[in-house]
Amino acid sequence: MATSKDILTVELGSRSYPILIGQGLLGDPQSFTETVHASDVLIVSNTTVAPLYLSTLEAALRPRRTVATLLPDGESYKTLGTVTRILDVLVANRFGRDSVIVALGGGVVGDMAGFAAAIYQRGVAFVQVPTTLLAQVDSAVGGKTGVNHPGGKNLIGAFHQPAAVVADTATLATLAPRELRAGLAEVVKYGLIRDAAFFAWLEQQAEALLAGEPEALAHVIRRSCQIKAAIVGRDEREHGERALLNLGHTFGHAIESATGYGRWLHGEAVGAGMVMAARMSHASGLMPQDDLRRLVGLIERLGLPVNIPNVAAEDLLEHMRIDKKVLGGRIRLVLLRGIGAAFVTAEYEPDLLRRTLEGHLADL
C-alpha cells in the first residue's frame, strides 16, 4: 500500500533526517523502511492514542519485534519518573544499543520517548510519529527532548535528533477540537516570527482550519515544518536564530508552571504568551497598533485564550526566572517589530515586563 506524501529534510550533516507528511503514513510499511533498520522496536504511546493507532502501527512495523509501553495522557505526567518507566521496559526486554524507539502520540509522548532514547545506553535511535497538530508542526521536529521539573518547564532534557518524522495527517480527524486549536497557536507563531504572508493566509483560512479541512491543514503542516527545518538546520543547539522559535514560550512556560502542568494546554499558553509579547512590544513602541490588533483578533477567532485569569504577576515572574532563556541573570524575551519580524532581546524596561504580567497593558 503506497501513499502519496511530501518529504522535507532537516539538514544536519550526518544527522540529517526526513519529515514525511501525508494521509495514512503510519499504517504504511514504506514509511519506516529507510529509517528503522532495527529488529527490536519499542513503541511509546499513551492511553488515549494507543486504542486508535497502535495496532495499525505495529502491523506496519512487522516483522520487527515490537514492544509497546503506554503512558498516562497529559503534561502533568511529563516527568523523570515516567521516563524511568520507559527505561525499565527497555532493560526488562533486553533492548540493545541497536534498537529503535518509536514515539506515537503528541508532544508529551514525543518529548519523553525522545529523552529516553537520548539517555538509554548513551543514545539509541528514535522515530517521531506525531498524532497531534502541535506535534506535527512543532515539537516532533528539531530534536528537543525532555521532561518538566516541579520548578520549571522542560528543565531536564537533551538535544537528540530523531531518525525520521512520520506525520500522518489522517490522525488529525480524531483530534479533540481543543487540541486542534492549541496546535494552531504554534502555527500562528511561524507567521508571526518570519512570514507575514503566511500570517495573512491564516487569517483567511481560520474557519477552514478550525473545521479540520484536510487541504488547509496539510498546507499548514508543510509550511510550518519548512520554516522550522530551515531554522534548526542553521542553528541546531539554539546559539542564535533558533531562539526566535521561543516566541511566546517564556511567558507560556511560566503560565503552565504557575498554574500546574496540564490545566493549560501548551499551545494555549503559547497563544496567550504571544499576545503578552506583542502587547509588551507595542507598549515599547516597537510593534504597530494594527499588527497587535490583527494578532489578538486571530488568536480570538481560533478560540484561544488571550488573557490569564487568576495568576499573580509575581508568581509568573518567579517561574520566568528559572526558565532556560535566562542568561547572566537577565530574562531574554522574543519581542516583535511587527508581524513577521521577531527578535531576541534582554534590553527592555523591567517595569514593562511586570506590567505585562499584571495584565495592565491594553490591546489597543
Catalytic residues: 122, 144, 186, 228, 238, 242, 246, 249, 253, 266
Among 1, 2, 327, 364, binds a copy of itself (CB under 8 A): 327
Residue 98 beta carbon to a copy of itself: minimum distance, rounded to whole angstroms: 5
Q: What is the 3-state secondary structure (H, E, C) of 326-337?
A: EECCEECEEEEE
294 near a copy of itself, judged by CB under 8 A: no
**Residue 151, interface with a copy of itself (CB under 8 A)?**
yes
CA angle 57, 216, 9 (to 5 degrees): 55
- Residue from 5, 153, 294, 324 that binds a copy of itself (CB under 8 A)? 324
Nearer Cβ to a copy of itself (62/122):
122
Is 156 an interacting residue with respect to a copy of itself (CB under 8 A)? yes
- The torsion region of residue 345 among left (phi > 0), alpha (psi -120 to 50) and beta comes to beta
Q: List the grid coordinates of 20.
A: 514525511
Taking each helix axis from N to C end, the angle separating 196-210 and 177-194, rounded to the nearest 10 degrees, works out to 170
* Sole window of 26-34, 55-63, 182-190, 322-330 interacting with a copy of itself (rule: CB under 8 A): 322-330
Site of grid cell 531536564: 156
| Nine-digit cell string for 202 | 491564516
Q: Is residue 94 a contact residue for a copy of itself (CB under 8 A)?
A: yes
Using CB under 8 A as the binding rule, whether residue 63 contacts a copy of itself is answered as no
Residues 6+ apart with CB under 8 A from 21: 5, 6, 7, 8, 136, 167, 169, 218, 221, 222, 225
- Among 12, 67, 68, 87, contact with a copy of itself (rule: CB under 8 A): 87
Closest distance between a copy of itself and the C-beta of residue 193, in Å? Answer: 21
Question: How far apart are alpha carbons 20 and 5 in whole angstroms?
Answer: 6
Q: Residues in the site for a copy of itself, rule: CB under 8 A?
A: 39, 80, 84, 87-88, 91-92, 94, 96-98, 118-123, 144, 146, 149-152, 154-159, 321-322, 324, 326-329
